[in-house]
Structure 1
Amino acid sequence: MTDSLVKKLNQLHITLKVIYGDVFSDRRYSLSSGTKIASDKISEALDKEKLKAKDLLFAAFVTDTDGIFINPTSLAIDSSIEPKDSFQYDLEAQRLLFSTREKKDEIVKTRQRKSRKLAKLIKEGESLKINRVQVSCYVFYNSVNLEHVLFEKLLPDHEKQDAADDFVDQYDEKGDEGLDEILAFFKSRCPSDDYEESWEFIKQHEMMQGYSNLAILFDRIQSYK
């Protein structure tokens, strides 16, 4: 995130909290609905920041789609994949390849669980209740993940952070102009200006290109200036 963006968020009293891992596919939350997970995480953040639900304009989660919308016919076993890798994306063929059938069954189950939780939160998020206060909650995505959006390719884990840092650095040194360029970049990756339409689109086109609806979030933030 650029210094200019951080400065603007601070001016707007917008708090960002990084949640490591994926709460929507984490087995620890397997029995919780998407709305329950969101409510709990928002409540945790409010307690930590000593805020109340009525202080919120809205809440937003950003997640990777992780191949949850890939057609089941595009899931395949490929014995050439190293067992330690579990699975690989084949962006060109729009397929998800697994090292073994056991890994396929395990990962598909996790992806399906995430899909169900997100679907419920997207549908019911605008009427979320936190401590009896209605809070609008939205979910924004990167497909398949952030580097797919930024670079139109997938990177090994050990390269992801440096690549993202390099991407931000090239804009950060430009100050406010760089911020405008980043916003324009994400605008070019957004399939629709409408929140629900952007989700309907990605369900059919997840692996075709690195799409993201983060531009809708940025527009929403700017509307509260």
Structure 2
Amino acid sequence: MTEKKVVIFIVEGPSDEAALGTIMKEYFASNEVQFVVVHGDITLKDYVSADNIIKKIKSQIEAVKNKYPYQWGDFIRIVHIVDMDGVYIPDEAVRAADVEAVRYFEDHIEAKNVLEIRARNKRKGEILYKLRTTGKIRGIPYQIYFNSCNLEHVLYGELKDFTDEEKEIRSDNFADLYEGRAEAFIEFISGLAVAVPGTYKDTWNYIEKNCNSLNRHSNMHLLFEQNGASSQLTAAAP
């Protein structure tokens, strides 16, 4: 077993790790921090369902365990960060349009195949509910935190389809901005411009309503609070 305990971060892409990695390693400096980059949204993979998602998460942790190697007892926390992608919006807010890729706006989604996106949202919503109500995976505390509509929207304040190159540049600049300044990042992510007030459960209940999963919201501030379970914020949700 390692001398330090291990905090696992599951993220969608390398730009997520680039933007958040140094911040998390500074904040959790008394532990080891390992990032698992899924290269996509694990909740949208063809082979994933609400029935097997926990098994798939376990396999991600198993890969880290075998790589270094760790023992299961070395892991003390699993932090999963996911984009919302408008998953909870009403079906009528998914509109048909002659577009190559899905386009996201703060009050609707445009897509060539409306039924496909509606089905995607339903399946992803079921998987997210399973994950947010799980609490532990193989005895390790697990919580999933959201960014809406996506991480770039929350961190940079723009809702657009960034290219991989743009994501890389933005994430590197963001990491440079907060290098050695984890507390400044916590202040930013806890601000009412993005943070949804309330408990972990409250924030998920909020993001499920109306078009909130397209608006600029996050509950990542909760991961810095004791047990990641409650919030100091008391103002109305933005």
Normalised to the residue count of structure 2, the TM-score between the two structures is 0.76
State which of 103, 128, 135 in structure 2 corresponds to 1:126.
135
Please name the residue that 2:224 is paired with: 218
CA contact (8 A) 2:86 2:214 kept: yes
Distance 2:21 2:41 in 1: 23
Structure with the higher strand share, 1 or 2: 2
Query: Does structure 1 residue 156 correspond to structure 2 residue 161?
Result: yes
For the pair 1:46 / 2:69, whether they are aligned, the reply is no
CA contact under 8 A between 2:196 and 2:219: conserved in structure 1? yes
Instruction: Within 5 Å, give how 1:75-94 maps onto structure 2.
Output: 75-79=94-98, 81=99, 84-85=100-101, 87-91=102-106, 94=107
Counterpart selection for 1:181 from 180, 184, 194: 184
- Is the 1:2–1:169 Cα contact (8 Å) retained in structure 2? no
Equivalents in 1 of 2:121, 2:71: separation in Å?
33
Does residue 201 of structure 1 match 2:206?
A: yes
State percent identity of aligned pairs: 22
For residue 107 of structure 1, the aligned residue among 104, 117, 136 is: 117
**2:126 is aligned with 1:116:** yes
In structure 1, the partner of 2:54 is 35
Q: Which of 174, 179, 185 is residue 167 of structure 1 equivalent to?
A: 174
User: 2:109 maps to what in 1?
Assistant: 96
Cα gap change, 1:211/1:31 in structure 2, threshold over 3 Å: closer, same or farther? closer
* Structure 1: unaligned runs, 5 residues or longer: none
1:67 deviates by 1.1
What's the counterpart of residue 34 of structure 2?
Answer: 15
Residue 77 of structure 2 contacts residue 140 of structure 2 at CA under 8 Å; is this kept in 1? yes
Asked whether the equivalents of residues 33 and 117 of structure 1 are also in contact (C-alpha less than 8 Å), the reply is no
Work out the CA distance in 1 between the residues paired with 2:69 and 2:197.
36
Instruction: Quote the offset at 1:54 in angstroms.
Output: 2.4
5+ residue gaps, structure 2 = 1-19, 230-238
Kindly name which structure, 1 or 2, has the bigger radius of gyration based on alpha carbons.
1
